Amino acid sequence: MLNLHHVPTREPGSRRTLVVLHGLGDSHEGWTWLPAELDLPWLNYVFVDAPDPHFGGYSWFALRIDEAQGPGIVGDGVERSRRCLLDLVASLVASGVPASEIALLGFSQGCLMAIDAGLRSPDPLAAIVGISGWVDQPARLAAEAPASARKVPVLITHGTGDEVVPIERVRPLARELQAAGFDVAWQEFEKEHTVAGRAEILFIRRFLESAFGMPPVKARRGSGGAAD
């Protein structure tokens, strides 16, 4: 069972929910800044710890590191974590939150899992946001995803200076999803393997507002950040 941390909406009665997936070696605690920075009063948050312990944090799947190609997947951790996340979505739906009011957001490993699980959901989600990660086997994902997944808005952001997951590796994977008919928006930022402060946070906020059909919230000053 996954460890969950809930942050309720500031607007009682709203069921709109963002499920947040951290990166390798991190935990939900590394993302507790997100609700204040996104500043979307109608949004509930479910922060998830990955299932496997990893040097004081958690991991979604085992990795091997290739300096030229970036991280590669070892074992069946992706499939196992996918089942856990789809079970989580199903439990949210059973609790009264429609799939159409659930979005997934993930960073690095969490980005891969948000896309991998989110596009396989039997009922289409509201949106998927992937930050500084990559896509596992996009051709297989396209073959296994339900037809309704092609309508789910997906935002993938990446840094031009990312040395952990090189952007040259990720661009063609995003294009492959687009060519398969998925509604994928790709956005590059001048950043490394992190979140690009307010610029990226505001971009994600506008995307979520549009995906949930909500009017824009007036921006306020602040800054965001994330661990690897």
CA distance 197 to 126: 24
pLDDT for 223: 45
Contact 36, 201 (CB under 8 A): no
Average confidence (pLDDT) over 165-182: 97
pLDDT for 220: 54
pLDDT for 160: 97
pLDDT for 227: 43
The domain locations on the chain are 3-211
CA distance 158 to 168: 10
Q: What is the 3-state secondary structure (H, E, C) of the chain?
A: CCEEEEECCCCCCCCCEEEEECCCCECHHHHCCHHHHHCCCCCEEEEEECCEEECCEEECCEEEEECCCEEEEECCHHHHHHHHHHHHHHHHHHCCCCHHHEEEEEECHHHHHHHHHHCCCCCCCCEEEEECCCCCCHHHHHHHCCHHHHHCCEEEEEECCCCCCCHHHHHHHHHHHHHCCCCEEEEEECCCCCCCHHHHHHHHHHHHHHHCCCCCCCCCCCCCCCCC
Query: Domain spanning 3-211: which CATH class is it, in words?
Result: alpha beta
pLDDT for 12: 87
Please state which of the ranges 58-72, 108-122, 179-193 shows the lowest mean pLDDT: 58-72
CA distance 127 to 154: 6
Of 156, 148, 5, 14, the C-alpha closest to 88 is 5
pLDDT in tens, 35-86: 999 999 999 999 999 998 878 799 999 776 665 555 666 657 899 999 999 9
Whether 164 has a pLDDT exceeding 60, the answer reads yes
